[in-house]
């Protein structure tokens, strides 16, 4: 579990693509890493598979590559990283699982003085989870939806976010990893199940069977 408060930016040292997976190597600082630990990389919860001097290695499976932008990374790319929450930590962002739901295509990166505003295309299958002033994670960054249209939504980036993450550097047509708010997904899924159940009970076939 993460909070979407990015701790830093890491550079991709190398990538190696196998038939069904990718080995992703990041430059890292510090020595308090351990094989098996989790790390959010552009919002994706990955497991440290190997540690080399100044580097961390991750195995990225096909499902993750298909749902995220990790397959587009190359040597020299920059990624947002965050360690998991610990019990007792402050929750400054929102609950982020590190389970990416899909990607949102960046339509515009608009400069507004010292701030930025990102306009993104709403993925059709995920649009139902987006709400005005609701939370969303984009490339691992906890953000608030500033405006919501029929097929797009916008988020605002303050100078601190621009300085601590990669979002301000993204250009149009980059697919940002999107994780919808867990609360929105829970509520919408529950309501959909209730609606389907009510529809089955009220159908003519169900009424006949009940008699």
Strand partners, 59: 23
Q: What's domain 8-82's architecture?
A: Beta Barrel (2.40)
Residues of the chain above pLDDT 90, percent? 82
Judge if 8-82 and 102-184 fold alike in CATH terms. Answer: yes
pLDDT tens, residue by residue, 31-59: 789 999 999 999 999 999 999 999 999 99
Classify 111 as helix, strand or coil: strand
Hey, where are the domains in the chain? 8-82, 102-184
pLDDT digits (tens, 9 = 90+) for 65-89: 999 999 999 999 999 999 999 888 8
Q: Which of 177, 111, 107 is nearest to 149 (CA)?
A: 107
Question: Model confidence at 90, in pLDDT bands (50, 70, 90)?
Answer: confident
Q: In this model, does residue 207 exceed pLDDT 60?
A: no
| Token pair for 61 | 């499976």
Q: Fold for 102-184, please state it.
A: Elongation Factor Tu (Ef-tu); domain 3 (2.40.30)
Cα 26–Cα 27–Cα 29 angle in degrees, nearest 5: 130
Q: According to the model, what pLDDT value does residue 208 have?
A: 53
Per-residue model confidence as pLDDT tens digits over 147-182: 999 999 999 999 999 999 999 999 999 999 999 999
């Amino acid at each position: 579990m993460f909070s979407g408060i990015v701790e830093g930016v890491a550079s991709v040292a190398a990538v190696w693509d196998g038939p069904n997976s990718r080995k992703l190597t990041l430059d890292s600082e510090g020595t308090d890493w351990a094989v098996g630990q989790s790390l959010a990389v552009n919002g994706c919860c990955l497991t440290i598979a190997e540690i080399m001097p100044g580097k961390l290695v991750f195995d990225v499976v096909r499902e993750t590559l298909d749902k995220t932008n990790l397959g587009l990374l190359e040597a020299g790319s920059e990624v947002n990283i965050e360690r998991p929450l610990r019990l007792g930590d402050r929750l400054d962002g929102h609950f982020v699982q590190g389970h990416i739901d899909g990607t949102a295509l960046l339509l515009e990166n608009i400069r507004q003085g010292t701030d930025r505003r990102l306009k993104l295309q709403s993925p059709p299958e995920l649009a139902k989870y987006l709400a005005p002033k609701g939370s969303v994670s984009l490339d691992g960054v906890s953000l608030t939806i500033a405006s919501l249209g029929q097929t797009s939504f916008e988020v605002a980036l303050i100078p601190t976010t621009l300085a601590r993450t990669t979002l301000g550097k993204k250009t149009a047509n980059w697919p940002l990893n999107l994780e919808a708010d867990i609360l929105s997904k829970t509520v919408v899924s529950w309501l959909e199940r209730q609606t389907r159940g009510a529809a089955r009970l009220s159908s003519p076939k169900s009424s006949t069977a009940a008699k």
